[in-house]
């Protein structure tokens, strides 16, 4: 959609007017973590470092991702919608033939194309050091699609979408720069674990930059926790073992009540339905297994928070914390992949579990339903459970501290606009000989002063035939709606999020004119950003992650 940059320029000038030096910028992304998992968003998992970051910064109650791993990363990195980058579906997976669609289906290339520019490329041109550790997942089969070829000066992580966390191996192994690392070792005396390694290498890159040029730096830290396979250290697992014998029904109720107490959700919003069986209908043996699975999941979130704390402590020690912007979010809602009860992997065979990859072990749809309390649906979907994420924005030197939730809705394309605004960088109309689309988002810089965002355009989503549009408090959402040709209006659902953000009261039959109007706007957007034309679904390259 056509946009004016007036609001971006105004907010940027206002912010830079009192900026003595450009800030460092850190983007931290969790993988497959639900809306209510961390403590400051209602969870019982111990996340003191994220909780403190939220308390000292700006905590958004309504921030959205793009429903799936690599579409979210494409939008985060470019400020565009995923289809505009060639990732309307997923990346071509490592074990499949590198399939591209050419000019016929430009939105479904299977990798991030050169018809967009990354945050790293924009900030690199502005004199920032550009650093990345963690999960790339934006193109695998050719080095031209890897981080160092897309603006990052240093990279340590995995190119593919997921890996074994203790034993990352080809083709889902560790890459340093452009070179594979056959047997990665810990930089400390700890056992090798990718969550630890990504943090340690991020700190190492920051220190190397400080010792060399001391430019402002941009670090993209993309964890794979708590994405399956559920791999965690025993000390964290045992901390949570037995705590989930309460079951998912009680856990959802407790989180729901805490979220109301925190002011995050409205008590008038009904909680969504349970996704599967009541906890009390499970056998004692199955309850014990499911407790173990959730304990592993919680342990992964806990360990990630410890590592974020380690990074923050280091920034403070070197005098970089106060002038560093930190953004934290998850790439999609909680993950229901691997079956309703988490798949077939035996959770008690720990040694075997730690050598697994594949589709397990996971924690199952039932726990994902709890992770997304109080919302409907999961990863893949554009209902709130698929796209709502915690979002924390912290700039200690500049942000206005408030105990209140920041209420203006925002989403991934806004990150690029914010980074460009605050850093003073320039977003190009041409890069590397390619025309670059305008940014699709708006700057979130006003949030740092507690002011509302002035969004003029609707927010849009589409992934895997799941679609949504939000205009003000109205949201049109549906699954299986973007079939070839005109969307089937009977599949659209209409919600007033101010009264029903849990999407339990469909108003589409009561307000058919509003449904039709929003559906028309969505279809116009879909045609503009390359949702169409799309290849037949059965010809997509098969990839879970």
On whether the CB atoms of residues 159 and 73 are closer than 8 A, the answer is no
Whether 69 sits among the annotated catalytic residues: the reply is yes
3-state secondary structure of 144: helix
The total of other beta-carbon atoms located within 10 Å of residue 17's CB is 7
Q: Nearest 5°: CA angle at 390, between 387 and 393? A: 125
Cα 498 to Cα 494: distance, rounded to the nearest angstrom? 12
Known catalytic residue at 70: no
E-strand ranges in 19-136 read: 24-30, 58-64, 129-135
Q: What is the DSSP string of 52-66?
A: HHHHHSEEEEEEE--
- State the DSSP code for 266: -
Q: Is the dihedral of CA 196, 133, 462, 65 positive or negative?
A: positive
Quick one: angle between helices 413-423 and 69-78, nearest 10?
A: 30
As a whole number of angstroms, the distance between CA 465 and CA 480 comes to 5
Encode 318-353 in three state secondary structure: CCCCCCEEEEEEECCCCCCCCCCCCCCCCCCCHHHH
Beta bridge partners of 179: 176
Q: Distance between CA atoms of 302 and 49, rounded to whole angstroms? A: 10
Residue tagged active-site, from 69, 70, 116, 335:
69
With 0-12 CB in 10 A as exposed, 13-18 as middle and 19+ as buried, what is 404? exposed
- What are 530-534's contacts with CB under 8 Å, separation 24+? 530/83, 530/84, 530/88, 530/106, 530/107, 531/83, 531/88, 531/107, 531/462, 531/482, 532/107, 533/104, 533/105, 534/88, 534/105, 534/107, 534/108, 534/482, 534/484
In the block, tokens 């999960």 appear at 135
Tally of CA atoms within 13 A in the half-sphere of 409 that contains its CB: 21
Q: How crowded is residue 51: how many other Cβ atoms within 10 Å of its Cβ?
A: 18
For 443-469, letters b (16+ CB in 10 Å) and e give: bbbbbbeeeebebeebbbbbbbbbbbb
Cα separation of 310 and 304, whole Å? Answer: 10
3-state SS string over 193-233? Answer: CHHHHHHHHHHHHHHHHHHHCCCCEEEEEECCCCCCCCCCC
In degrees and rounded to multiples of 5, residue 287 shows phi and psi of: -60, -45
CA pair distance 204, 449, nearest whole angstrom? 32
Annotated catalytic residue: which of 70, 81, 116, 137? Answer: 137
Around Cβ 278, how many Cβ atoms within 10 Å? 11
| Residues catalogued as catalytic | 69, 137
């Amino acid at each position: 959609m056509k946009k004016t940059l007036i609001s971006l320029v105004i907010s940027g000038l206002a912010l830079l007017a009192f900026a003595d030096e450009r800030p460092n910028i850190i983007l931290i992304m969790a993988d497959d973590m639900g809306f209510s998992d961390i403590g400051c968003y209602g969870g019982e998992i111990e996340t003191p470092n994220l909780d403190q970051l939220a308390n000292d910064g700006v905590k958004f109650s309504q921030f959205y991702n793009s429903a799936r791993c690599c579409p979210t990363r494409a939008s985060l990195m470019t400020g565009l919608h995923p289809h505009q980058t060639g990732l309307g579906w997923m990346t071509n997976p490592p074990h499949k033939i590198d399939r591209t669609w050419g000019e016929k289906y430009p939105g479904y290339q299977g990798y991030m194309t050169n018809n967009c520019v990354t945050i790293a490329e924009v900030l690199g041109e502005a004199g920032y050091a550009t650093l990345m550790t963690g999960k790339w997942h934006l193109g695998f089969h050719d080095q031209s699609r890897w981080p160092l070829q897309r603006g990052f000066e240093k990279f340590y992580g995995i190119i593919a979408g997921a890996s074994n966390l203790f034993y990352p191996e080809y083709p889902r192994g560790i890459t340093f720069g452009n070179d594979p690392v056959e047997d990665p070792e810990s930089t400390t005396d700890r056992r090798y674990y990718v969550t630890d390694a990504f943090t340690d290498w991020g700190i190492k890159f920051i220190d190397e930059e400080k010792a060399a040029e001391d430019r402002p730096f941009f670090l993209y830290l993309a964890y794979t926790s708590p994405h399956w396979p559920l791999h965690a250290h025993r000390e964290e697992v045992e901390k949570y073992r037995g705590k989930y014998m309460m079951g998912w029904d009680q856990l959802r109720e407790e989180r729901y009540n805490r979220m109301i107490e925190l002011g995050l959700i409205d008590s008038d919003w009904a909680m969504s339905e349970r996704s599967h069986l009541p906890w009390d209908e499970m056998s004692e043996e199955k309850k014990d297994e499911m407790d173990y699975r959730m304990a592993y999941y919680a342990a992964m979130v806990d360990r990630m928070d410890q590592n974020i704390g380690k990074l923050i402590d280091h920034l403070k020690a070197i005098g970089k914390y106060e002038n560093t912007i930190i953004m934290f979010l998850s790439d999609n809602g909680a993950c229901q992949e691997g079956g309703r009860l988490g798949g077939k992997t035996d959770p008690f065979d720990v040694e075997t579990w730690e050598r697994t990859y594949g589709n397990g072990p996971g924690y199952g749809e039932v726990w994902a339903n709890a992770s997304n309390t109080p919302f409907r649906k999961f990863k893949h979907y554009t209902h709130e459970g698929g796209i709502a994420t915690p979002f924390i924005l912290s700039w200690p030197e500049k942000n206005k501290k408030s105990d209140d939730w920041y209420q203006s809705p925002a989403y991934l394309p806004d990150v690029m606009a914010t980074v460009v605004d605050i850093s003073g960088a320039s977003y190009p109309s041409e890069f590397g000989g390619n025309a670059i689309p305008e940014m699709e988002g708006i700057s979130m810089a006003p949030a740092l002063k507690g002011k509302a965002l002035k969004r003029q355009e609707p927010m849009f989503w589409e992934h895997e035939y799941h679609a949504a549009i939000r205009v003000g408090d109205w949201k049109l959402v549906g699954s299986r709606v973007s079939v070839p040709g005109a969307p089937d209006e009977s599949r659209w659902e209409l919600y007033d999020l101010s009264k029903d953000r849990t999407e339990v009261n469909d108003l589409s039959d009561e307000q058919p004119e509003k449904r039709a109007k929003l559906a028309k706007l969505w279809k116009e957007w879909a045609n503009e950003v390359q949702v169409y034309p799309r290849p037949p679904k059965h010809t997509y390259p098969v990839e879970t992650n």
